[in-house]
């Protein structure tokens, strides 16, 4: 099979236990379910009905998270406000009306929490920047901040159904004019971690299918995410090298791991993609500069899907940084990359890649709330 087309066969998202069984035990132990959390719905009850109603399409990973949240809240406010509550006692009707006004107020503030600690979409009652969720705001405004913080201490990443098992919360709900299900509809579930940076690049591989080795060379956007808050002269280059095939279910499944990942800062902007890919050992057409961050033989896994009928697909990478001068800027723990692929536009490369790196990374202070500003001094 020609080398250029070795990845244009049908690859599929790896969810199959038989594929996971092919992984080394260390990789299988840390690999979460292979799915992009950016594709999960914002709420388990309403799904993404709010986004579809507003824009006539499902949301995508390219859509802004705050837009997603704002659209959901606007939708839920309209649904709840339109319900017939005439059977409720006047006191509960009044309480419900007042809390709906508070929810509109909360939406207008646009100070939404972030999910810094979970690898999947999850609720977050109060985040580390002191941003509170929608239901938390209703409790804070009606029952006080002390109660909200007590709930957060025990149920920070819990669903409203779980939170409602707390006696003081049940008492509050009984006086709110809302049901538990209605409050659960309000509660957004947030994307994991911060989007640290975005990149676009091209992959190349060894011949045959599935290829035994896989490489990726990409340019990182220096004006977005964690790099937007400081001057980056020249260019930033992401290199994923020598990923090794762990296992496959031919003809349409493959998982890779054990490769290296490096992010380079180069004072020169001289990287070019020639008609042929760089050598396996060195990205020859890139001047590497200084090593920002790296993961040496610790890429936990890379799962890749490709649909030949559309010419596109998705990928996910999980790794842990262990080197580089500025690795702490990504925070701690595992770092994940999600994005899309398509047939390469450059001869000699297999696929074009576009994605975002997610972690608990440092972000610019611009447009920050007071909570985020305080976090810089903790």
Would you state the pLDDT for residue 94?
A: 97
Provide the number of structural domains found in the chain: 2
Q: Tell me the percentage of the chain whose pLDDT exceeds 70.
A: 75
Domain boundary among 186, 219, 237: 186
Same domain, yes or no, for 31 and 54? no
Would you state the pLDDT for residue 366?
A: 38
In-domain check, residue 204: yes
Domain boundary among 186, 204, 239: 186
Nearest to 280 by CA among 297, 259, 264, 265: 259
**pTM of the model as a whole:** 0.58
Mean pLDDT of 116-135: 88
Same domain, yes or no, for 135 and 153? yes
Give the pLDDT band of residue 64 (cuts 50, 70, 90): confident
In-domain check, residue 302: yes
Question: Per residue in 326-378, pLDDT tens?
Answer: 888 887 667 888 888 888 888 778 889 999 888 767 655 433 333 433 343 33
Residue 120 in this model has a pLDDT that exceeds 50:
yes
Residue 26 in this model has a pLDDT that exceeds 60:
no
Residue 140 in this model has a pLDDT that exceeds 90:
yes
Same domain, yes or no, for 19 and 96? no
Same domain, yes or no, for 171 and 120? yes
Give the pLDDT band of residue 160 (cuts 50, 70, 90): very high
Same domain, yes or no, for 240 and 276? yes
Mean pLDDT of 258-269: 85
Same domain, yes or no, for 70 and 17? no
- Phi, then psi, of 74 in degrees rounded to 5: -60, -40
Same domain, yes or no, for 147 and 237? no
In-domain check, residue 365: no
| Among 16-25, 123-132, 218-227, 280-289, the least confident range | 16-25
In-domain check, residue 76: yes
Would you state the pLDDT for residue 30?
A: 35
Encoded tokens for 56 = 């006539």
Mean pLDDT of 158-181: 97
In-domain check, residue 369: no
| Among 161-170, 224-233, 240-249, the least confident range | 224-233
Domain of 157, in residue numbers = 41-186
Question: Per residue in 32-62, pLDDT tens?
Answer: 334 556 668 999 999 999 999 999 998 876 6
In-domain check, residue 181: yes
Residue 117 in this model has a pLDDT that exceeds 80:
no
Same domain, yes or no, for 168 and 198? no
| Among 103-107, 174-178, 258-262, 275-279, the least confident range | 275-279
Domain boundary among 165, 186, 207: 186
Same domain, yes or no, for 292 and 261? yes
In-domain check, residue 375: no
| Among 19-23, 213-217, 232-236, 265-269, the least confident range | 19-23
Same domain, yes or no, for 168 and 30? no
| Among 99-103, 204-208, 219-223, 274-278, the least confident range | 274-278
Q: Which residue has the higher pLDDT, 275 or 255?
A: 255
Same domain, yes or no, for 110 and 219? no
Would you state the pLDDT for residue 372?
A: 39
In-domain check, residue 254: yes
Residue 102 in this model has a pLDDT that exceeds 50:
yes
Same domain, yes or no, for 303 and 329? yes
């Amino acid at each position: 099979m020609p080398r250029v087309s070795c990845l244009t066969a049908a690859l599929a998202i790896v969810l199959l236990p038989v594929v996971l069984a092919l992984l080394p035990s260390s990789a299988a132990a840390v690999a979460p379910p292979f799915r992009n959390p950016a594709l999960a719905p914002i709420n388990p009850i309403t799904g993404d009905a709010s986004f579809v109603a507003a824009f006539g399409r499902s949301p995508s990973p390219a859509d802004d998270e705050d837009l997603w949240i704002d659209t959901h809240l606007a939708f839920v406010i309209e649904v709840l406000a339109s319900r017939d509550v005439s059977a409720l006692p006047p006191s509960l009707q009044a309480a419900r009306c007042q809390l709906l006004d508070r929810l509109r107020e909360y939406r207008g503030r646009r100070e939404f929490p972030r999910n810094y600690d979970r690898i999947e979409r999850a609720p977050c009652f109060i985040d580390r920047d002191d941003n509170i969720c929608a239901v938390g705001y209703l409790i804070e405004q009606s029952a006080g901040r002390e109660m909200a913080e007590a709930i957060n201490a025990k149920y920070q990443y819990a669903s409203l159904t779980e939170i409602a098992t707390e006696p003081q919360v049940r008492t509050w709900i009984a006086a709110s004019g809302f049901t538990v299900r209605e409050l659960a509809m309000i509660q957004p579930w947030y994307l994991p971690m911060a989007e640290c940076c975005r990149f676009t690049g091209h992959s190349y591989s060894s011949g045959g299918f599935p290829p035994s080795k896989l490489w990726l060379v990409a340019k990182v956007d220096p004006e977005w995410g964690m790099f937007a808050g400081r001057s980056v002269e020249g260019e930033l280059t992401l290199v994923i090298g020598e990923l090794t095939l762990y296992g496959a279910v031919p003809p349409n499944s493959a998982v890779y791991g054990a490769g290296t990942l490096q992010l380079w800062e180069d004072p020169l902007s001289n990287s070019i993609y020639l008609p042929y890919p760089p050598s396996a050992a060195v990205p020859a057409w890139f001047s590497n500069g200084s090593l920002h961050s790296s993961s040496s033989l610790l890429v936990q896994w890379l799962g890749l899907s490709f649909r030949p009928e559309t010419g596109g697909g998705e990928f996910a990478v999980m790794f842990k940084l262990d080197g580089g001068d500025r690795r702490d800027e990504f925070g701690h723990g595992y770092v994940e990359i999600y994005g899309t692929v398509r047939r390469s536009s450059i001869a000699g490369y297999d696929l074009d890649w576009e994605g975002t790196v997610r972690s608990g990374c440092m972000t610019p202070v611009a447009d920050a709330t007071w909570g985020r500003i305080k976090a810089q001094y903790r």
